[in-house]
């Protein structure tokens, strides 16, 4: 599957499943366009080579 | 000698002061805070209908504070270099009892019940808040203009048909135009430095955590930094000294000693090592001719001052840094505004709504990949920065484009070398380097080691003295 392609129907279903059942067709169209870009950029972030590489925002106890 | 100060607004009206100069005059009781505030209010009344630097002017509050400052100073209780100095803040800083809009229809009626820590600090030192300045909605935008925000667009003081840079749109142009002696902005990917570059002022994004963000609307918690925009590098150091420091109200506040950021101003840079970054990867645009020429002149000024310049290579392309900031910003921002997005997105402007929709489609693993990469990029970037005392690089790749050219507006905003330092957390100052043939300011960026803002100012001051023509002001 091409990860960067969202059809309008896919986006409408995804939006509805996550609480946006009232989105207009224009909104769905725009969301699908943006989702393709988001998916593309997300896929371009290199994955860290080691499982113990922690995210930048790892929790620290208050000092 | 104590006693009343003669007030004659006509003596100061029309003058555009630096904080350093005004401070000396106030301390010597040659001008009064009342004169200064009246002069700035008069300036706002004359130029702001065209500039739109303010969303809310707090005239009576400022006048009352000015009278207090004048009384204190006349009684011999001068509090320091910010006493009696008028300033503005981006309208994402809360002031108790005053409307905070964040440039958003979501908040048009929001009266704050708290005051931002940095404003409390400034007011405790006697600085006088003139008002809340224009901003993109919640600090959000790509540069594209949709004309769908509740307040008129701020306009560039050097040419009203040109872009101010965002998101602290009113602050840069207000400082350049003299509607505020200094201003406070906030910077998630460049929102202090881009307006500074567009309007030829000094914009400081300090080390992440050095300046409190408590009492400011968040845009993206892990990237947001608050800081000053000023006419000169010295003014920036003065203001930073006034606002930096640990704040228990801000969970990311750094517990480090506040330095004397002015100590290096005017000191020799002989013997300093300054790295120069030229390559930002194949997707980065070429520098506009005037920006490139003035960057070369900045390098020459540093060499002439006795610094050694070395070529540096960053560990990743500009695009790679930007991808990391985009993903983190999409995710965190949706988390901030999720309820509004689900229930009131019709009130959002398109730029914010697009960012929310982007966050909506973001996968958790991609977000975490970005934060893992952020940590690695910060470490790798720091290893490069640490090889020198400071680093010189471009800030924006062009001067401020005209509003009519959407493509250039987006390029100015998205293809700037600013987000690199939000990812890494290093201090970075946008400093004016002169003008292009059309009279629009050019800029460069001086970067320092973590918490070494003093060296950033020391190096930037040399560039400013050589190139930035601080006696030249916009004609409005």
**pLDDT at position B7:** 52
Distance CA B166, CA B412 (A): 10
Chain A residue numbers with beta carbons less than 8 Å from the beta carbon of B367 are 42
Distance CA B138, CA B220 (A): 10
Among B450, B421, B388, B1, CA closest to B190: B421
With b for 16 or more beta-carbon neighbours within 10 A and e for fewer, the B160-195 pattern comes to bebbbbbbbbbbbbbbbbbbbbbbbbbbbbbbbbbb
Q: What average pLDDT is seen over chain B?
A: 96
How many other C-beta atoms are found inside a 10 Å radius of the C-beta of residue B364?
8
**pLDDT at position B1:** 42
pLDDT over 70 percentage in chain B: 97
Among B326, B274, B325, CA closest to B463: B274
CA angle at residue B64 from B236 to B36, to 5 degrees? Answer: 45
Is B10 a known active-site residue? no
Mean pLDDT, residues B316-320: 98
Asked if pLDDT for residue B461 goes beyond 70, the answer is yes
**pLDDT at position B12:** 66
pLDDT band per the 50, 70, 90 thresholds, residue B11: low
Q: Are B76 and B101 in contact (CB under 8 A)?
A: no
Mean pLDDT, residues B1-22: 70
How many other C-beta atoms are found inside a 10 Å radius of the C-beta of residue B406?
15
Asked if pLDDT for residue B251 goes beyond 50, the answer is yes
Asked if pLDDT for residue B465 goes beyond 60, the answer is yes
Q: DSSP per residue over B333-347, as a string?
A: HHHHHHHHHHHHGGG
Supply A61's token pair. Answer: 């106890």
For chain B, domain boundaries? 9-467
Mean pLDDT, residues B192-214: 98
**pLDDT at position B401:** 98
Query: Tokens 């070429």 correspond to what residue?
Result: B286
Task: Kindly report the CATH number that applies to the domain delimited by B9-467.
Answer: 3.90.1300.10
Q: Three-class SS of residue B182?
A: strand
Among B237, B179, B242, B236, CA closest to B43: B179
pTM: 0.96
Selecting from A27, A46, A55 the residue whose C-beta is nearest the C-beta of B371 gives A55
Q: Three-class SS of residue B61?
A: helix
Among B158, B170, B200, CA closest to B431: B200
Cα–Cα distances in angstroms (integers) from residue B236 to residues A19, B131, B229, B267, B429, in the given order: 46, 19, 7, 16, 9
Beta-sheet pairing, B308-312 with B273-277: parallel
State whether A31 and B357 contact (CB < 8 Å): yes
Chain A residue numbers with beta carbons less than 8 Å from the beta carbon of B424 are none
**pLDDT at position A1:** 44
What is the distance in angstroms between the CA of the first residue and the CA of the last residue of chain B?
A: 39
User: Dihedrals φ, ψ of B154, to 5°?
Assistant: -70, 145
State whether A45 and B375 contact (CB < 8 Å): no
**pLDDT at position B172:** 98
B8 or B436, greater pLDDT: B436
Chain centre distance of CA B307: 27
- Residue B421's H or E segment, with its range, is helix B419-424
Interaxial angle between packed helices A25-44 and B364-385, expressed in degrees from 0 to 180 and rounded to the nearest 10 = 50
Among B396, B397, B444, B402, CA closest to B155: B402
Supply B167's token pair. Answer: 């998101």
Among B147, B28, B130, CA closest to B78: B28
For chain A, domain boundaries? 8-43
How many Cβ contacts (< 8 angstroms) between chains A and B?
Answer: 78
Of B167, B253, B424, B468, which is the active-site residue? B167
Chain A interface residues facing chain B, Cβ-Cβ under 8 Å? Answer: 6, 14-15, 18-20, 27, 30-31, 34-35, 37-39, 41-48, 53-57, 62-63
Supply B332's token pair. Answer: 């965190």
How many other C-beta atoms are found inside a 10 Å radius of the C-beta of residue B278?
14
Is B167 a known active-site residue? yes
Chain A residue numbers with beta carbons less than 8 Å from the beta carbon of B366 are 38, 41-43, 45
Selecting from A27, A31, A62 the residue whose C-beta is nearest the C-beta of B361 gives A31
State whether B323 and A39 contact (CB < 8 Å): no
Distance CA B208, CA B226 (A): 9
Is B90 a known active-site residue? yes
- Residue B323's H or E segment, with its range, is helix B318-344
Distance CA B25, CA B382 (A): 41
Q: Are B217 and B340 in contact (CB under 8 A)?
A: no
pLDDT tens digits, A1-51: 456 788 999 999 999 999 999 999 999 999 999 999 999 999 999 999 999
Query: Tokens 């005051």 correspond to what residue?
Result: B115
The sheet with strand B54-57 has its strands ordered as: B54-57, B128-133, B86-90, B182-187, B225-230, B202-205, B428-435, B441-448, B390-393, B273-277, B308-312
Contacts of B198 (CB under 8 A, 6+ apart): B156, B162, B163, B164, B165, B172, B173, B396, B399, B400, B412, B441
Cα–Cα distances in angstroms (integers) from residue B72 to residues B58, B69, B155, B200, B224, in the given order: 21, 5, 37, 34, 35
Cα–Cα distances in angstroms (integers) from residue B285 to residues B232, B289, B325, B431, in the given order: 28, 12, 19, 20
Chain B interface residues facing chain A, Cβ-Cβ under 8 Å? Answer: 222, 251, 255, 320, 323-324, 326-327, 330, 342, 354, 357-358, 360-363, 366-376, 378
Q: Which range is least confidently modeled, A56-60, B273-277, B341-345, B408-412?
A: A56-60
Mean pLDDT, residues B78-98: 98
ipTM of the complex: 0.94
Cα–Cα distances in angstroms (integers) from residue B394 to residues B133, B163, B325, in the given order: 26, 18, 19
pLDDT tens digits, B323-355: 999 999 999 999 999 999 999 999 999 999 999
């Amino acid at each position: 599957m091409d990860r960067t392609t969202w059809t309008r129907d896919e986006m409408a279903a995804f939006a509805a499943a996550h609480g946006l059942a009232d989105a207009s067709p224009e909104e769905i169209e725009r969301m699908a366009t943006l989702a393709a870009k988001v998916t593309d950029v997300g896929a371009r972030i290199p994955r860290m080579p080691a499982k113990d590489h922690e995210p930048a925002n790892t929790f620290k106890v208050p000092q | 000698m104590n006693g009343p100060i003669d007030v004659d607004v006509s003596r100061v009206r029309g003058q555009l002061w630096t904080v350093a100069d005004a401070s000396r005059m106030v301390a010597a009781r040659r001008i009064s805070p009342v004169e200064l505030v009246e002069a700035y209010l008069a300036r706002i009344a004359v130029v702001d209908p065209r500039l739109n630097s303010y969303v809310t002017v707090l005239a009576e509050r400022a006048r009352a504070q000015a009278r207090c400052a004048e009384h204190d100073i006349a009684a011999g209780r001068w509090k320091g270099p910010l006493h009696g100095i008028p300033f503005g803040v981006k309208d994402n800083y809360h002031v108790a009892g005053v409307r905070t809009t964040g440039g958003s229809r979501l908040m048009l009626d929001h009266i704050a019940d708290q005051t931002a820590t940095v404003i409390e600090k400034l007011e405790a030192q006697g600085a006088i808040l003139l008002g809340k300045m224009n901003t993109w909605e919640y600090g959000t935008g790509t540069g594209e203009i949709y004309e769908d925000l509740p307040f008129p667009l701020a306009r560039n003081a050097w040419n009203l048909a040109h872009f101010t840079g965002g998101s602290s749109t009113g602050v840069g142009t207000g400082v350049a135009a003299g509607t505020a002696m200094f201003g406070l902005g906030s910077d998630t990917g460049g929102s202090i430095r881009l307006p500074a570059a567009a309007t030829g002022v000094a914009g400081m994004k300090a080390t992440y955590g050095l300046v409190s963000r408590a009492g400011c609307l968040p845009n993206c918690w892990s990237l947001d930094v608050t800081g000053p925009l000023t006419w000169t590098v010295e003014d920036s150091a003065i203001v930073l000294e006034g606002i930096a420091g640990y704040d228990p109200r801000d969970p990311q506040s750094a517990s480090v000693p506040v330095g004397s950021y002015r100590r290096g101003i005017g000191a020799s840079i002989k013997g300093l090592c300054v790295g120069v970054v030229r390559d930002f990867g194949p997707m980065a645009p070429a520098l506009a001719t005037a920006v490139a020429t003035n960057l070369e002149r900045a390098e020459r000024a540093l060499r002439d001052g006795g610094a050694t310049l070395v070529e540096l290579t960053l560990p990743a392309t500009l695009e790679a840094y930007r991808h990391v900031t985009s993903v983190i910003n999409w995710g965190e921002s949706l988390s901030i505004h999720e309820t509004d997005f689900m229930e009131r997105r019709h009130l959002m402007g398109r730029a914010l709504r697009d960012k929310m929709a982007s966050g909506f489609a973001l996968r958790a693993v991609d977000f975490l990949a970005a934060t893992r990469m952020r940590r690695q990029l910060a470490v790798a970037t720091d290893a490069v920065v640490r090889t020198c005392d400071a680093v010189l690089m471009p800030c924006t790749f062009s001067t401020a484009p005209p509003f009519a050219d959407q493509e250039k507006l987006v390029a100015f905003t998205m293809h700037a070398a600013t987000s690199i330092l939000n990812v890494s957390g290093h201090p970075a100052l946008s400093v004016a380097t002169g003008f292009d043939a059309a009279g629009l300011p050019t800029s460069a960026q001086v970067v320092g080691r973590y918490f070494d803002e003093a060296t950033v100012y020391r190096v930037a001051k040399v560039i400013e003295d050589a190139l930035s023509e601080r006696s030249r002001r916009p004609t409005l």
